[in-house]
Structure 1
Amino acid sequence: MLTYDNLAIGQEFALGPKLVTAEEIIEFASEFDPQPFHLDPESDQAAQVGGLIASGWHTCSMFMRMMCDGFILDSTSQGSAGLDEVRWLLPVRPGDRLTGTARVVEKRVPKSRPDLGMVQFEYTLNNQNGETVMTIKGNGMLGRTPEAASA
């Protein structure tokens, strides 16, 4: 089980792969981001961006699943204190095979909560060509080992 105390600055976790389909792009967009370039590959708006593209929020959601599968579900995660930055650098398209990394960049234990550690992560999501499609800077909260929390 991954805890705050066994994370190291610079440690990385591999995420993915995730194959993106046109059907899931359209399904997500239909409910949450119904802009034409997310719904209809034949629309004028899709033509202007080179075809059907995933919503940035869909990309974030796929990435969240990749993080859960990659390390969060086998950790003492207590959620997140939020994101400092999300950058959508390139469109995500049907047929893209996404992979990513989560890298620990900073750690601290709040004086008021010695049982909880705050971890700043830098996340990168790439397509099958090695191109970075999204970056995120975020803050996770992980439980500590009982021994470390009481020390």
Structure 2
Amino acid sequence: MAATLGLDSRYVIGAEHVIPAVLADADEMVEFARKFDPQAIHLSDAAAREAGFAGLVASGWYVCSLFMRQFVSSIINDSSALVSPGVESIRWLNPLIAGVELSGVAKVSKVLPSFSVPGGSIVTFDVELGSVSEPPVKIATLSMHCLFGRNRKD
């Protein structure tokens, strides 16, 4: 128990979690861009192609929202996770084009005790996101922290 700071074995250093594939839907991408990132390459396939891209480009923030949805529902939803106290880094490496599926891996890289939540832990996940295609294209990397309360089973 001490090695995991009260967490279950899914959140020990080195544990890897698959981010399930999700489709970058063109209509959803445009709707998101209209509200939050209204740049031409995110709003129009034609504008994206004129700019030299293979098609409509997802906002990097849309990519992050796809990741977060999959991360919460498949990795931390049934855990003692409370909040995310921050993101250390985000890098968008290649564009996510409409119609491409996004997937990835979240690897636990650090586990530290929480000073604000008694018995809690801060878990750092290093995430790689890429296309589900051959060959796969790396889309983004990020490093984020999650605050976990004491394991519910304790």
TM range (shorter): 0.7 to 0.9
* Runs of 5+ consecutive residues of structure 1 not aligned to the other structure: none
Percent of aligned pairs with the same residue? 33
Q: 2:65 aligns with which of 46, 61, 67?
A: 61
What does the per-residue CA deviation read over 1:97-143, in whole Å, with 9 as the maximum and x for residues that have no partner?
11111110010113553321011110111102322101001111011
Call closer, same or farther: CA 1:29–1:52 in 2, change over 3 Å.
Answer: same
Aligned to 1:135: 141
> Does 2:11 align with 1:5?
no
Aligned to 2:78: 74
Distance across 1 between alignment mates of 2:111 and 2:52? 40
Determine helix, strand or coil for the equivalent of 2:41: helix
Aligned to 1:116: 120
Determine helix, strand or coil for the equivalent of 1:84: strand
Q: 1:86 aligns with which of 83, 90, 102?
A: 90
> Does 2:50 align with 1:47?
yes
Query: RMSD in angstroms over aligned alpha carbons?
Result: 1.9
What TM-score do you get using the length of structure 1 for normalisation? 0.88
Amino acid at match of 2:79: S
C-alpha displacement at 1:88, in angstroms?
0.3
What TM-score do you get using the length of structure 2 for normalisation? 0.86
* Runs of 5+ consecutive residues of structure 2 not aligned to the other structure: none
